[in-house]
A = this chain, B = another copy of it.
Amino acid sequence: MSKGETNIIVVMRKGAMARQIANVIARVEQMGCQTYISEGEEHTTIGVVGNGRPLNREQIELMDGVERTVPILRPFRLASREFHPQDTVVPINGITIGGEQLIVMAGPCAIESREQLMETARAVKAAGAHVLRGGAFKPRSSPYSFQGLGEDGLKLLAQAREETGLPVVTEVMDPDTVPLVTTYADILQIGARNMQNYSLLHAVGQAQRPVLLKRGLMSTIEELLMAAEYILSHGNDRIILCERGIRTFEPYTRNTLDISAVPLIKQLSHLPVIVDPSHATGKWELVEPVSRAAVAAGADGLEIEVHPNPEEALSDGAQSLKPARFAALMESLRLIAKAVGRRM
């Protein structure tokens, strides 16, 4: 953050009047800053985001109703717990993510056919999953690999939701298709490779849907929170973060799940965080123990790949669970959830 930047939190006195709050806002906006109000149980706080010019904190501290100002050292603000001390709970079609209940999103990596999707949807619903996942637009490292069914996939997803009642999450890859995907999906997923695609973050920041933001495989926790900051600063505060493994030198697993990121993000931010053990490990045998670890570490949920015939999957078969194993995993997670004071 360059030295001239202005990012402070103004903490108003307990019982500060609406007029005093409005005056503070008017003053800092006059200085060219943006403001974000957060009304807590005791204190109202005003997040002030500057535009590079220095800001005189003393001037503000002299205003009526102001208790003190706090400089913000971390480069993210709206995403920070300092700015928003309470946990954010994201409501999605009757369920919520970030509260006491753990949320499991499950389904195939790529939607391949109606049969494949429906069979999986019924199976994960029966096992207790809360959200159906499935990719219609697939970012693939090779231009010759299966790129997804596109809108046909989205339609199948909507049908699966209708039949099972499960809300659906699917990836959106560019700003232009945000409106289309929003028509069908309950949650918009930003994939790891697009975590710093700022045009896309801008677009989903203006969409009327919760966003599942996956950590880039090359991104620090701070960069993940900065990407969330982009979405928040464009007006969308229904964000779910997802740890899905980072790239390291270890070759046995596809990526290295950064399990410490879960409690660390909960400490730094108010946003809910889930874990994707399928992409993190790349091996279905590791999905179960790693899912248990994620819940034990405090994750708010999981996103897991399930496929009726992993050996025939067009994408990521090696890391997909069969329905029966997924059902067994759900049983084992119930025990861990209980041990950490959560429920499934």
- Which of chain B's residues have a CB closer than 8 A to the CB of A250? 220-221, 246, 258, 261
Q: Type the 1/0 row for A17-55, where 1 means its CB is closer than 8 Å to any CB of B.
A: 000000000000000000000000000000001111000
On whether the beta carbons of B252 and A264 are closer than 8 Å, the reply is yes
User: Which chain B positions have C-beta within 8 A of A248?
Assistant: 246, 248-249, 256, 258
Q: Which residues of chain B are near A336, meaning CB under 8 Å?
A: 296, 336, 339-340
Nearest CB of B to A344, in Å: 13
> A interface, how many residues as a size bin?
35 or more
* A293: B residues at CB distance < 8 A: 259, 262, 293-294, 296-297
List, in ascending order, chain B residues with CB within 8 A of A145's CB. 2
Specify the chain B residue showing the minimal Cβ separation from A258. B256
Q: Which residues of A in the span 276-299 have a Cβ within 8 Å of any Cβ on B?
A: 280-281, 285-286, 289-290, 292-298
The count of identical subunits is 4
**A5 within 8 A of partner (CB):** yes
A192 to chain B, nearest CB (A): 9
Instruction: Establish whether residues A249 and B263, one from each chain, have CB atoms under 8 Å apart when the complex forms.
Output: no
Measured CA separation A260–B286 after assembly (Å): 7
A199 interface residue (CB < 8 Å to B): yes
Residues of B within 8 A of A335 (CB): 339-340
Residues of chain B contacted by A197 (CB below 8 angstroms): 174, 193-194, 197
Interface core residue of A196, A234, A293 (most chain B CB under 10 Å): A293
Please give, as numbers and ranges, the residues of chain B lying within 8 Å of A1 by CB-CB distance.
142
8 shortest interchain CB distances as A-B pairs: A218-B218, A174-B199, A296-B296, A293-B293, A263-B289, A335-B339, A292-B296, A293-B297
